[in-house]
A = this chain, B = another copy of it.
Amino acid sequence: MKFKELIEKLGEAVKSSSETPELEITGVSAIADATPNTITYAESPKFIEQLKATQASAVILPANEQLQSIATDRGLAWIVVSQPRLVFAQAIAFFYKPFRPAAKIHPTAVIDPSAQVGELVSIGAYVVIESGAKVGNHVCIHPNVVVYPDVVIGDRTVLHANCTIHERAQIGADCVIHAGAVIGSEGFGFVPTREGWLKMEQSGYTVLEDGVEVGCNSNIDRPAVGETRIGRNTKIDNLVQIGHGVKVGEACAFAAHVGIAGGSTIGNRVILAGQVGVGNEAKMGDGSIASAKTGVHGDVKAGVTVSGYPAVEHRVFLRSSAIYNRLSEMYQAIKQIQKRLDEK
């Protein structure tokens, strides 16, 4: 594809280099290990050194004079756009066709006669679909997936290999469940008794609304009664645990190793960074953020960023953690002051 054609397709260029319209672009690349005839992107002046060294032939830039001037000096083709990373995502989509198996049902798939399967589905080898399940149109189920009874899977949803969908789970349209993930498993519900732990049967179910993505080997449990719910377009990374009865809003993003304990309520557009823990029955308001490794208890107000364990407002955490390294010095200072006072 010629550079000028690519620009037209991307359609958002504020301006572009004028001398290289005929340049042939054959793919996309990362700025640090690019090859000639590929297009890459730079998001901010942080990329200056990499831009000076990249082997890419074209680059998507933000409105930054210095970056443009480096690109021009190096003879690179460039375009300036308001959101380089977004336009780069579009560029990838021009060149890359994700693997999608053909729309057919492998003869080894074991599908219960009572299950309903939509049109143009792809169901891989050794998939097992139990009684009463409903699979929508254009669904893609990769090999060795197990779907327990009475599950509902919406149109165009993809289930990657070796994942498990438990009884009564409702998965919306356009969801992606990655390899090894487990949806709708039994919540960790045990009642302490004199004889030990009594199992509380988990009669509820898990709902993923449309456009939810669940990472590899992540788990979303179902509750004893009622539902666990993940709102529209929420994106969940790998190895995340979401406990029984949790309610998650729309368009949230949870990074790897996040754990949300039973009964918590998470608003819309909440961001949880890696290894964050949210305690039992906690509440996080819309747009709140927890930075990496934060331990959330109680309530976090809408729009607030918290950090640390126990979680405090991020700016308080920054101040306190900066001083943490000086604790020994502070301790000595107090001892010395006491001595000075005693000596007077």
Contact = CB atoms under 8 A, between A and B. Distances in A.
Interface stretch (A72-80, A114-122, A248-256): A248-256
A103 interface: no
Contacts of A161: 128, 146, 148, 164
A1 interface: no
A22 to B, nearest CB: 24
B275 A216 contact: no
Interface in A212-263: 213, 215-217, 219, 221, 223-227, 232-233, 235, 237-239, 241, 243, 245, 250-251, 253, 255-257, 259, 261
A14 interface: no
Given A178-B182, A191-B89, A277-B293, A325 B330 contact: no
B238 A185 contact: yes
B233 A196 contact: yes
Nearest to A229: B33
Nearest to A258: B257
Contacts of A44: none
Contact of A179 (B95, B182, B189): B182
A200 interface: yes
A77 to B, nearest CB: 17
A134 interface: no
B333 A325 contact: no
A324 B320 contact: yes
Contacts of A162: 144, 146, 162-164, 180, 182
Contact of A182 (B164, B216, B221): B216
Nearest to A29: B225
Interface residues on A, range: 35 or more
A342 to B, nearest CB: 10
A190 B327 CA distance: 37
B29 A226 contact: yes
B238 A188 contact: yes
Nearest to A257: B259
A146 B148 contact: no
A193 interface: yes
**Nearest 10 pairs of A and B residues by beta carbon:** A146-B161, A30-B226, A96-B203, A164-B179, A241-B256, A89-B200, A128-B143, A319-B328, A320-B327, A182-B216
9 contacts: A86-B198, A110-B126, A146-B161, A185-B216, A197-B253, A292-B295, A310-B321, A333-B338, A337-B337
Interface of A: 28-30, 32-33, 40, 83, 85-86, 88-89, 92-93, 95-96, 98-99, 106, 108, 110, 124-126, 128, 142-144, 146, 148-149, 160-164, 166-167, 178-180, 182, 185-186, 188-191, 193, 196-201, 203-204, 211, 213, 215-217, 219, 221, 223-227, 232-233, 235, 237-239, 241, 243, 245, 250-251, 253, 255-257, 259, 261, 274-275, 277, 279, 292-293, 295, 308-310, 312, 316, 319-328, 330-331, 333-334, 337-338, 340-341
